Amino acid sequence: MDQIAFITGITGQDGSYLAEFLLDKGYRVVGMTRRSSTDSMERIEHLQTRIELLQGDLLDQASLVAAIQAVKPTEIYNLAAMSFVPTSWNQPVLTAEFTGLGVTRMLEAVRQVDPAIKFYQASSSEMFGKVREVPQNELTPFHPRSPYGVAKAYGHFLTVNYRESYGLFAVSGILFNHESPRRGLEFVTRKVTDGVARISLGLTNVLRMGNLDARRDWGFAGDYVRAMWAMLQQPVACDYVVATGIDHSVRDVCQIAFERVGLDYEKYVVLDEHLLRPAEVDHLLGDPTKARQELGWQPTVSFEDLICMMVDADMERLRNHPVRHADVAFASAHS
Ligand code: NAP
Ligand code: F7E
């Protein structure tokens, strides 16, 4: 049978890498996009002749049912969400609608249209929040620390519940932070690599940052989409932690990124208290043993190589597209 993948959130970082990966595997790839007055196709422009796009919104049940009926997918990857943690405090209800209830709407649509469709839910290490143990694995209890984390925990349990209640092949991938040159400008790695490039090119001389001591387990997004696919190829549906098993601080990100262009981060990085969070997740470190053993999954890009890859890409972009400087300055001032 032909493999058909339906990806929500295809215009996002992970959606773009996943679409590339599945096209290379011979899938027909259909992505869901929401209506916008501006173009959000930047990350998938290079794939436009190879993928199909369909309009739909996680807030609109009928649009999800209609899309799944039209596409008849064999696999659904539910990547769409409001994914920026600080925004979830400013827009907690909308975050719950997109990131939490959106999962229910997708699962209900699957149940209604064809319960044989395999379903991947993009869950998050943010569910561990105030961690109960280090490192975190599939059995570690959750203690989310933001409306985003709470909404993701809801989506996770709902996915498990639909698997147990209705026998759906529904899996929850508990992914730790993963980054790339396509990462949104407001997330910390990309904010730093973009800021470093701007400082190196003489466009600014300061980088305002929040908590430099927070620690995360950062990997490369291109590696993580392989794990999503592998989960749907297992004989039995279950949940997996996907992580590198190595943690670093935000300070490490700064140090490596600035060193890449021959600069000392301490001369440019300034603490901005407005960037501290109402409740911080201090330390996330994943234990990817189950993914390694059952999925045969391993990361291929080291933390150092990831940050250097991102700095190099931002240097190249800002050298070649000076028109984007204004956008970048805006994003930095607001995240
Ligand atoms: P991202 O770059 O922020 O992309 C989010 C995607 O969701 C975009 O395509 C966005 O579309 C779409 N979207 C948002 N609201 C929508 C709605 N109401 N209806 C339809 N589409 C909507 O996120 P990402 O980094 O690729 O992450 C993918 C998923 O994995 C997310 O669910 C995220 O929460 C989760 N996750 C990410 C990480 C990570 O480290 N990256 C780790 C764990 C889990 P527009 O382009 O129109 O905005
Ligand atoms: O922050 C600290 C900040 O925004 C990482 C999302 O993909 O991963 C992501 O969530 C850390 C936090 O990612 C700044 O306080 C310091 O401790 O890059 P981030 P996140 O909140 O971990 C999880 C797994 C997801 O699921 C989410 O969707 O960095 N930090 N200074 C800063 N963070 C930002 N953004 N900006 C700063 O200036």
User: Nearest CA to 10 among 48, 66, 38?
Assistant: 48
**Residue 17: per-residue pLDDT:** 99
Token pair in block for residue 215: 């620690």
227 plus 310 within the same structural domain:
no
pLDDT-flagged residues of the chain (< 70): 1, 322-335
Please state, in angstroms and as integers, the Cα–Cα distance from residue 132 to each residue in 154, 172, 261, 289, following that order: 19, 20, 38, 18
**What was the pLDDT predicted at 322?**
60
Please check whether residues 156 and 30 belong to one and the same domain.
yes
Going from the Cα of 175 to the center of ligand 2, the distance in angstroms, rounded, reads 14
Closest CA to 197 of 303, 304, 318, 308: 318
Q: How far apart are CA 18 and CA 5, in angstroms?
A: 10
Ligand nearest to the CA of 10: 1
Neighbour tally for 61: CB within 10 Å: 17
Which CATH number is 15's domain given? 3.40.50.720
Residue 143 in any domain: the answer is: yes
Q: pTM score > 0.85 for this model? A: yes
**Inside any domain, residue 289:** no
Query: Is 180 assigned a catalytic role?
Result: no
Residue 217 near residue 245 (C-beta atoms within 8 A) = yes
Of all ligands present, the nearest one to the C-alpha of 57 is: 1
What's the mean per-residue pLDDT of the chain? 96
**What's the CATH code of the domain at 305?**
3.90.25.10
* Amino acid sitting at position 165: S
Question: Angle at Cα 164 formed by Cα 138 and Cα 64, nearest 5°?
Answer: 95
H helices present in the chain, as ranges: 13-24, 61-71, 85-90, 92-95, 102-113, 147-166, 188-200, 221-232, 250-260, 289-290, 303-320, 325-333
Q: From 32, 77, 83, give the residue whose CB has the most ligand 1 atoms within 8 Å, as the site to mutate.
A: 83
Count of domains observed in the chain: 2
Q: Are residues 111 and 225 in the same domain?
A: yes
Q: Do 225 and 192 share a structural domain?
A: no
| CA distance linking residue 125 with residue 287, whole number of Å | 11
pLDDT value, residue 321: 81
268 belongs to the catalytic site = no
Residues 88 and 212 in one domain: no
Q: Quote the pLDDT of residue 241.
A: 99
Q: Say if CB 240 and CB 171 are below 8 A apart.
A: yes
Question: b/e map of 48-60 (b: 16 or more CB within 10 Å)?
Answer: eeebebbebbbee
Q: Are residues 87 and 62 in the same domain?
A: yes
| Given the residues 124, 125, 200, 332, the one annotated as active site | 124
According to DSSP, the residues that pair with 136 across neighbouring strands are 286
Q: So what's the pLDDT on residue 325?
A: 47
Q: Is residue 291, in this structure, part of any structural domain at all?
A: no
Residue 202 belongs to what domain range? 184-216+246-283+301-326
Residues 117 and 131 in one domain: yes
Domain co-membership, 163 together with 205: no
63 Cα to the center of ligand 2, angstroms? 31
Q: Are residue 252 and residue 148 in the same domain, yes or no?
A: no
Place of tokens 């204004």: 326
- Chain centre distance of CA 208: 23
Residue tagged active-site, from 27, 120, 148, 240: 148
Are 188 and 165 in the same domain? Answer: no
Are 223 and 212 part of one and the same domain?
no
Residue 313 within any structural domain of the chain: yes
pLDDT for 265: 98
200 part of the active site: no
- In a domain, residue 86? The reply is yes
Q: Which atom of ligand 1 approaches the CA of 221 most closely? A: 41
Round to whole Å and give the CA distance between 135 and 128.
10
Kindly state whether residues 74 and 223 are assigned to the same domain. Answer: yes
* Residue 105, in any domain of the structure: yes
Burial of residue 161 (CB within 10 Å: 0-12, 13-18, 19+) is middle
Query: Are the C-beta atoms of 247 and 215 separated by less than 8 Å?
Result: yes
Residue 167 within any structural domain of the chain = yes
Instruction: Specify if 135 maps to a domain.
Output: yes
